[in-house]
Amino acid sequence: MNTTLRRLASVVMVMFVALMVSTTWIQFFQSSELNDDNRNVRKIYAQYGTPRGPIVVGGEAIAQSTPVDDEFGYQREYISGPLYAPLTGYFSLVSGTSKIEDTENDFLNGQADALWVDRLQNLFTGADPQGSSVELTIDPEAQQAAWDALGDQQGAVVAIEPATGRILAMVTKPSFDPNRLATHDTQAANDRYEDLLNDEHDPLHSRATNTLYPPGSTFKLVTAAAAIESGEFDSGTVIDAPVTYTPPGTTRSIPNYGGTACAAGNEQTLAEALRISCNTAFAKLGVELGAETLREQADKFGFNGAVDVPFSTATSVYPEPPFDDAFVATSAIGQWDVVATPLQVAMLSAAIANDGELMAPFSVETIRDAELEVVQQSSPRRLSQAVSASTADQLTDMMVGVVESGSGTAAQISGVTVAGKTGTAQHGDGSQPPHAWFTAFAPADDPQVAVAVVVENGGSQGSEATGGRVAAPIARAVIEAVLNG
Amino acid sequence: MSAVVAEAAVGRTVEPHERRPARLAELFLLVLALAAGIGAFAMVGRATTGDLPEGFWVASGMLAGVALVGHVVLRIRAPWADQVILPAVVLLNGLGLATILRLQLSGARNMVGADAASNAVYSLLGALVAFALLWFLGDHRRLRRFTYTAMIVGLALVSLPLIPGLGQEINGARIWVSVAGMSMQPAEFAKIAFAVFFAGYLVSNRDTLALAGKKVLGLQLPRVRDLGPILIVWAASLGVLVFERDLGTSLLFFGLFVAMLYLATERSSWVLIGLLLFGVGAFAAANLFPHVNARMEVWLHPFDAELYDRVGGSFQIVQGLFALGAGGLFGTGWGEGYPQRVPYAFSDFIYTSIGEELGLTGLLALLLVYLLIVQRGLRTSLAVRDGFGKLLAGGLAFVMALQVFVVVGGITRIIPLTGLTLPFMAQGGSSLLANWIVVALLLRISDSARRPSALPVRGQVAPGGATHEPIVVGSAGTTPDGRPTGTPASGTPLPRRTPVNGGPTEIIAPQPETPKGEHS
């Protein structure tokens, strides 16, 4: 039996060598692949184990990590969660990270390359690694004002400082509470996440930056800008303003709001057309300018380009020509396939307010390490010269007219000149109430804030809604909050 | 047998050398094993609660007590027993308890099942049963009387989980028995019963099995009528697969059975027939039973998204692989990883828990410790003089190797995952108790194997006891260095003697493993 015993011993040897090889294969050669699998939550666990840096607005933390006595060590908390959700995003075991929590993750968890000095220090002092704090550009009063003014209506508000591109307010409704996703009770977080995903109003989706709406009449600013930039028009140029306009090559006519004439004699100045938001005048003007010109002007205002603030936003679209004049006409008044985010519409006003210079919007002001040393400081960045300074001046005057005596009088603030533009955008098959828009900046002579407001389906006023009635008061509230703050 | 006899004649089977009880070496190794185990308790506590864990002194005292009592029992009742097995087992048991404690202290919701205290009690119980066995079973050959009793006990144990009301189905496999709130895995004990049965049965029937029958294609096929009891056990192990749906236990019995047949008959035809039979059974099961088929799919494509999300799918094994991957070369250290993410990290998947926190280094060391125990068992089998002891030690050592292989191979995807537990480490009373009994048997046989062959002495021991003439009985040969050797008739109780004053003792003869009357 000893021969067979020796053979059996060899078999045992082979079995154990096989186990050692397979274990080595997994732990050494497959290790990094396994660690990178997105079903492996150890990465998130490791992040939960170190104090994550706070997200700060106006000197107060709106997201912070507090020590808790569980397997993770720290719980992420959001103060005023729904108010800031479109900015902070969430940090969740179940749904991962989003928005600032996602893009600034390396800084928040202290693993960013720029923090290597801190990590080296920690190595010597034995201190635990600590996350950096991320300070946002948000003006807390403007944010709160926008939230309050929007009330129970669905929609979004974005406010930008025109000279720099700093985002001062970003509100979306309905919103969600990131705390309920950040809970370490994964079952509860999972249930909540499922609910949010299945919610017909899609609260996880930030309307301010990621929903594309037809911009409606706010897009007339682009058409007007293209007209003035062409050199053939100025604010005083008299243009046709028929009761209905039928673009060449089609039989579908474009009416005015309410089906009325824009002016006696069916013609008016460009400024006048913008003031009362005359559809036929701008549709005809758009066809005269041509789709190429409109698209070029739209691109300069930021359409068709990716905008990261620093999280990515939906790209607003002016379709690529050529297309039929019927579409050119509707595109010139912000309908058909023209879509824009509220952020984009705010950028439109901001560029006009900033002498035609479009600044890249951003929401992260400063990143400081655990010792409050500045690690990264954002500086304003120019995106493009959307229009010349003189065009911007004319557009500003025209927009002031809109608020003083046009469709946007509800945005008037005593003692402050407000420049604005309303929009009432048809969408879908037209059976639902239109989206109400308003975009504005103020003060007109020294702009501090540009704002865009969209209220879905007319908000509380339903089919009776216009941008001037529903959206303009919200914009006014935000402007007041910024100017008084 | 001719090859073995020839080997014996030139003295290769067991090198003749002086033997001495090695209990002091064992004591030293025990101290090392205790240091590792108790150190692990302390580190686990420090890492999770910042202080020594609750019950640290009790647990450490218990482990040390087990080591000390075992050592004393061996000194008195089995002084010649192998000196490595007990320390190795104490080490594994200690590390296992530390790991379970660590998982329990994690407080994770899916770790509420981890219970280091009750497992410590079972360890203690297992060790005490083992020591009692060592104490009262003076000679392993007495077990041979229970050959057929063992078969019946084994078959009864295997079929227990099938009794309605008694058997319990956990995770698809029906290998549990629950009595009065206590559950146990009878298969763990059945493997010992079967090893005893095979050893007793084969030592009596090996010649018939080996020599009678036709030769086909160079393979000596056994006669059908000699196969009776073997077919019964084959059917039983396949029955486990079919009715209890546990591939691991089935594989364990089958491997034991094939290995011992091969040991006894020296016919590789048995291995082929065995593997063939098992292959057919497994293939049929994979095709007939969705449960087995699902296991196969999980084995082949664990990362498949659909299988990962399916209930009873690959979630566990993938989480286990994540744990191993996170451990890397050196591990995260006690309490620094997330082994509790893996379902059953304290029992079926304790291997990945250790892999995550002690790393590849720790696991390779662990495998080496298991290999050490198994190889010591096989060595014992090689050295022991009686056929029954040889088969029993060989079978028990192999079944432990196979169990480690099935568990670790299942986790590292060499074979499909099964529900077996890692001996001495995984949480589970049955497994601990049964494997401690295996250890007791191996120690008992090793004592007999290494004990100087006590031969009837003719004449007197030389004055002062320094030297003496060994007396040769039975067939005798002379080793190359000219020292005489002796061969006692196997199975005969012999008077024993131990050397005096450390002088040279009797020289052990190479021991041809021959049944009575086979000398030519």
Q: What is the pLDDT of residues A200-259, one digit of tens each?
A: 888 888 999 999 999 988 999 999 999 998 888 888 888 888 888 888 877 777 877 767
Which one of A206, A217, A363, A407 is the catalytic residue? A217
Instruction: Give the distance from CA B335 to its chain's centroid.
Output: 30
A412: pLDDT strictly greater than 90: no
Mean pLDDT of B499-516: 44
pLDDT category, A128, cuts 50, 70, 90? low
How many interface pairs between A and B have CB atoms less than 8 angstroms apart? Answer: 138
Residues B334 and B474 in one domain: no
- Name the residue range of residue B505's domain: 1-11+459-520
A1 and B326 within 8 Å at the Cβ level: the answer is no
Residue A104 to residues A77, A386, B91, B319, B428: CA-CA distances in angstroms? 17, 30, 47, 28, 46
Could you report the per-residue pLDDT of B25-78, keeping only the tens digit for each?
Answer: 999 999 999 999 999 999 988 887 778 888 889 889 999 999 999 999 999 999
CA-only gyration radius of chain A, Å: 28
| Contact (CB, 8 A) for B134 and B74 | yes
The C-alpha atoms of residue A413 and residue A443 are separated, in whole angstroms, by 10
Query: A210-363+382-484 adopts what CATH topology?
Result: Beta-lactamase (3.40.710)
Counting every residue written for chain A, the total comes to 485
Mean pLDDT of A376-389: 91
pLDDT the model gives residue B519: 41
Residues B434 and B465 in one domain: no
A1 and B108 within 8 Å at the Cβ level: the answer is no
Residues B305 and B408 in one domain: yes
Angle B350-383/B429-450 helices, nearest 10 degrees?
30
Token output for B391: 């088969």
Interface membership of B340 toward A (CB under 8 Å): yes
Residue of B nearest to A187 (CA): B109
Query: Catalytic site residue A217?
Result: yes
Could you report the per-residue pLDDT of A263-297, keeping only the tens digit for each?
Answer: 777 888 888 888 888 888 888 899 888 888 999 99
The residue from B432, B450, B468 where one domain ends is B450
Q: Where are the beta strands (DSSP E) in A79-182?
A: 91-92, 96-97, 133-136, 155-160, 167-173
Strands A267-269 and A238-240: antiparallel
Mean pLDDT of A312-319: 90
Full-model pTM: 0.62
B263 and A27 within 8 Å at the Cβ level: the answer is no
Residues B1 and B95 in one domain: no
CB contacts of A3 in chain B (<8 Å) are 3-4, 7, 266
B340 and A71 within 8 Å at the Cβ level: the answer is yes
The residue from B426, B450, B474 where one domain ends is B450
pLDDT category, B456, cuts 50, 70, 90? very low
Q: Looking at the complex, report in whole angstroms how far the Cα of residue A71 sits from the nearest Cα belonging to chain B.
A: 6
Contacts of A218 (CB under 8 A, 6+ apart): A334, A340, A345, A348, A421, A422, A423, A437, A438, A439, A452, A467
A106: pLDDT strictly greater than 90: no
Residues B204 and B148 in one domain: yes
Residues B403 and B464 in one domain: no
Token output for A372: 């409050």
Q: Looking at the complex, report in whole angstroms how far the Cα of residue A202 sits from the nearest Cα belonging to chain B.
A: 25
Q: What DSSP state is assigned to residue B302? A: T
Residues B133 and B254 in one domain: yes
pLDDT category, B135, cuts 50, 70, 90? very high
Note whether ipTM > 0.85 here: no
Contacts of A52 (CB under 8 A, 6+ apart): A65, A74, A76, A91, A108, A109, A131
Nearest CB among B381, B394, B409 relative to A19 is that of: B409
Of A255 and A445, the structure prediction assigns the larger pLDDT to A445
pLDDT category, B171, cuts 50, 70, 90? low
A8 and B367 within 8 Å at the Cβ level: the answer is no
Q: What are the sequence ranges of the domains in chain A?
A: 210-363+382-484
Token output for A475: 């914009």
pLDDT the model gives residue B224: 67
Nearest CB among A5, A19, A40 relative to B263 is that of: A5
Q: Looking at the complex, report in whole angstroms how far the Cα of residue A19 sits from the nearest Cα belonging to chain B.
A: 6
Residues B79 and B227 in one domain: yes
Nearest CB among B107, B329, B401 relative to A71 is that of: B107
Indicate the average pLDDT of chain B.
80
Domain count, chain B: 2
Q: What DSSP state is assigned to residue A337? A: T
Residues B177 and B240 in one domain: yes
Residue of A nearest to B373 (CA): A12
Mean pLDDT of A369-383: 88
| Contact (CB, 8 A) for B292 and B286 | yes
B394 and A70 within 8 Å at the Cβ level: the answer is no
The C-alpha atoms of residue B468 and residue B465 are separated, in whole angstroms, by 7
Counting every residue written for chain B, the total comes to 520
Three-state DSSP state, A441: strand
Phi-psi region of B323 (alpha: psi -120 to 50; beta: other; left: phi over 0): alpha
pLDDT the model gives residue B1: 41
Q: Does the CA dihedral A26-A29-A34-A37 come out positive or negative?
A: negative
**If residue B66 lies in a helix (H) or strand (E), which one and from where to where?**
helix B56-77
A428: pLDDT strictly greater than 60: yes
Instruction: Give the distance from CA B275 to its chain's centroid.
Output: 21
